Structure 1
């Protein structure tokens, strides 16, 4: 198993990219391990994070014209100008050359990945990314699957392969690093709006 040491693999706005894999309207309806609204909010948080930190972001779907449906509007509303890579049947997004090439073209070695489902779309992409030499953080709370057992086995499988488990707030805080950095106020607002709604109360109490 690959051992990742935090100081050596710190994710920054300069070395990271975000991959959102198959956050599709139909698939989201089957998410049972996490609250569906939380998954929507966290996916939107990541989309807005990409804009805030000027991170490359890659969006992809599978069977978009079929039962899986299009990307959820919480993502497309935040990123209306980002092309959606529509795979033609490849379950592992990295098996689709356009996707793999797009990731490589970012020039970033640190990948922040979320997807629906956790055990397929996220896990397959994360494992393939590690095999290609990327450092990967898998965001479990911006993903989702059909039951708790599927989530648990996915976490175990990815962890064994060297993928780092993380949360939406965890990775955004790592990107921010210091509240005094220029994006500090924006990130606090993003937490209040989407990722941690109760944070709005804390902000109000301090104002």
Structure 2
């Protein structure tokens, strides 16, 4: 079981330049916003990235609004771990359970997950908060990562795993959020 005080979320590259070609992007953006809201209710730190924002655009308006005042870390490497600013931000959290959301499952998310696992992190993939240009690439990326030791789960599952108990003060907020997901 993942512990809330050991969890950190990484939102990978959900940018204006990518969105039009991403499979099921309308649903994905809704899920990403719900995920960010849920993790904020649970006080789980969130790190966001962009892939070469100068050429591929900024984080979408809806996701940026959910993130609040956090400025995404811009990177040129496909793996977030290849960016020193990202690794500094991740290490500063002191957390070892990394939850990945964003795009593309089989490229930036996959490479980030594989490198994080090599570095001793526990990696969790929220399947309904990830996508790629083609559904098959998304599914194959999830399968490869599951075979490599990452945990594949869903948003609702991970929110309740981190919540643990209905007596938690965050329960009402998470319960209301999950009703939106239904």
TM bin, normalised by shorter chain, reads: over 0.9
Name the structure 1 match of 2:122. 135
Aligned match of 1:31 in 22, 36, 40?
A: 22
Distance 1:177 1:73 in 2: 32
Task: Indicate the structure with greater strand content.
Answer: 2
Deviation string 1:165-186 (CA, Å, 9 cap, x unpaired) is 1111111111112222111110
Is 1:17 aligned with 2:5? Answer: no
Q: CA deviation at 1:102?
A: 1.0
Please list every run of at least 4 consecutive aligned residues from structure 1 whose deviation after the TM superposition is greater than 6 angstroms: none
Distance 1:49 1:124 in 2: 25
Q: CA deviation at 1:105?
A: 1.1
Normalised to the residue count of structure 1, the TM-score between the two structures is 0.83
What is the alpha-carbon root mean square deviation over aligned residues?
A: 1.3
Q: CA deviation at 1:135?
A: 0.5
Q: CA deviation at 1:77?
A: 0.8
User: 1:143 aligns to what SS in structure 2?
Assistant: strand
| Structure 2: runs of 5+ lacking an equivalent | none
Q: CA deviation at 1:145?
A: 0.7
User: 1:138 aligns to what SS in structure 2?
Assistant: strand
Distance 2:22 2:166 in 1: 34
Name the structure 2 match of 1:151. 138
User: 1:58 aligns to what SS in structure 2?
Assistant: strand
| Structure 1: runs of 5+ lacking an equivalent | 1-9, 199-207
Is 1:104 aligned with 2:91? Answer: yes
Name the structure 1 match of 2:170. 183
Q: CA deviation at 1:52?
A: 0.8
Residues paired across the two proteins, number: 182
